[in-house]
Each structure stands twice: as C-alpha cells, then as structure tokens.
Amino acid sequence: MTLEEIRTLVEGDLRSVDGLIRARLKSAVPLVDQVAEHIIAGGGKRLRPLLVVLAARACGYAGSGHIEAAAFIEFIHTATLLHDDVVDGSALRRGRHTANQVFGNPASVLVGDFVYSRAFQMMAALASQPVMEIMAEATNLIAEGEVLQLMNAHDPHTTEQRYLEVIYRKTAKLFEAGAEVAAVLSGATPHVRQELAAYGRHLGTAYQLVDDVLDYRSNPKERGKNLGDDLAEGKPTLPLIHALRHGSEQQRAIIRDAIQRGGVTQLEPVITAIEATGGLEYAARQAHEHAARARTALAALPESTFRKGLAALAEFSVEHTI
C-alpha cells in the first residue's frame, strides 16, 4: 500500500485536519501569518496527523476530537522544526529555504513559540486530563532530547545507547504520544492504549533510523535536504557509531575528526568508511526490526482497513532503506 493509498483511507479526516491547521495558524500579527504561510506551503508528509486519525478510526472512534489532536500533534512537530533549524543553522528543508533563512532567527524562534502555545490552547479545548498529561510529558521529553543531542554533537564517543535515547525523545516520543492520545479519545482499554503507544514509539524510531541512513545515501532533490547534513552538524548518528566500532584505525580516525570538526569536507571518505563497515545496512536492519515491532503491536486492535493502514504506514517508514 502506497502512502497515498493509506491517506485515502482517512481522506476526509485529513482534509479537516488541513483546514484546522490553516485556521489555527491565523494571527492578527502579520509576521506570524507570513511565517505560518511559509510553513504550510512547505508541505511535508504529515505522517503524525495521519497516524493520529488512523489510530482513532482503528479504535472505532466516531467523534471529532481526533481532528484537533492530529492538528496539535503537527503543531508541536512544526514548532520543534522551527527551533531546530535555528539551532542547527539549517538553510534547506523539504527542498525549500527554511523559515530562519527567509525571515531570520528571531522571527523563526518567536513564531515557533506561537505555534507551540497554540498547540496547548487546542489541547486545553479538548478538556481531557489524560491527554494533557500525555502531551505535557511528551513536550518535556522532546525538549530534553534537543539538549541531549546538543551534548552529543561533535562527540565521537557517543554510544549507541545515548544515540537511541536522543531519537526516542526527539522523534519517537511524539509518534508515541499521538497514537496514545488517539486511544484515550476513543475510550480504548488500557491494554490497547499501551499497545498503540508502543506502535507509535517503534514507528517513530524506525522513521528516524531511516532518515539517518538516507543522510549518507539519498538524492538531495528527492529528500529535500543536502547529503551529509548530519555530519555537517557533527551529529554522531548510528551509521557513524557502527563504523567507529568496526572500522580500521584509519577509518575511525577519519570519522572521529569529521564529527569533531563538523562540515562536509571529509564526507566522501566518511561515506566510504561507513559503507566498508556495513554501517548503513546495520542501521537499516535496526529500522526494519522496529517497524516489525510496530506491526506486532497492532494485534491488540480489531481487524479493519484502518488497522491495515497503520501496518502499511510501518512498512512505508522503511521502504526506502537499502
């Protein structure tokens, strides 16, 4: 099942989510509107809102709260991207100039704050204490993940465990929260809620692992990001960590130096070292294992086209790996 086929299962819901996103991003402050329109025009797969509406429908939910939930999950994600691009000094996202590149760092940070706070307004409107608790914990962990990533930057001694902790907090936690919120809104049993949260966690982990693989083997035009962006920022991702464990002394020296210095001047020898040690294959295998665990967690749900859509979403997350 392709991504478009998955989206077709909840086409009406996704249109409602898109409409709500546009409506909630409106502001009386012109600059907020301009940055918001730049974000919307940037598109993106909207995987997190898709996850929320599919999970809610798979639980038999017939209300409209999942539309609000899908939108505020996307808002939290958008706010983190706005802030990330400033921290990382990124100039390109999804093939377009980043908001900080177009409007400057101060505007990007402040509009990120606006989007973040608007998400909490929407959460409060649902009047669900469990939803607020899930999202409060998630946003706190995401913030910690950003700091942990900053601590790991330019550190060639970063372990696989530390790397996995960062991607859980930075990426997988929001997937986990979205799936769990859908279960809560649907009045699902504690077991279903737990399994859906596990589905989101493993899906998000697989998604990030694949992204880290593609940083060293992808078409920049298709991906919308430059090859070696993680290396340029001194991020020790799993392919690099694996190569540091299994490479020759010369290969390890090249990678250590590249992580410490940042930049892409040594990108070619680094990629050669990663490929020689099987770093990309190792990370891809880990991604496939997490995608499989995500599909296994769906056994807690009744059979439906929406459950099949969630399973297909897990398959989609790893289909472009090597």
pLDDT in tens, 81-100: 898 888 877 776 766 788 88
CATH number for the domain harbouring residue 111: 1.10.600.10
What contacts 288, CB < 8 A, 6 or more positions away? Answer: 206, 318, 321
Cβ atoms of 204 and 100 within 8 Å: the answer is no
The type of residue at 292 is A
Cα–Cα distance measured from residue 320 to residue 322, given in angstroms and rounded to the nearest whole number: 7
In tens digits, what is the pLDDT along the chain, a chain of 322 residues?
899 999 999 999 999 999 999 999 999 999 998 988 888 777 678 999 999 999 999 999 999 999 999 999 999 999 998 988 888 777 767 667 888 888 898 999 999 999 999 999 999 999 999 999 999 999 999 999 999 999 999 999 999 999 999 999 999 999 999 999 999 999 999 999 999 999 999 999 999 999 999 989 866 555 556 678 889 889 999 999 999 999 999 999 999 999 999 888 889 999 999 999 999 999 999 999 999 999 999 999 999 999 999 999 999 999 866 5
Which of 28, 270, 305, 67 is CA-nearest to residue 185? Answer: 67
Which of 89, 118, 116, 103 is CA-nearest to residue 35? Answer: 103
* b/e map 99-109, b = 16+ CB within 10 Å: bbbebeeebbb
DSSP 298: G
Residue 231: which domain range?
A: 3-318
Predicted pLDDT at 178: 98
Number of domains in the chain: 1
For tokens 């392919």, name the residue.
239
Cβ atoms of 5 and 312 within 8 Å: the answer is yes
Cα–Cα distance measured from residue 83 to residue 43, given in angstroms and rounded to the nearest whole number: 18
pTM score of the predicted model: 0.93
Cβ atoms of 280 and 217 within 8 Å: the answer is yes
Cβ atoms of 34 and 59 within 8 Å: the answer is no
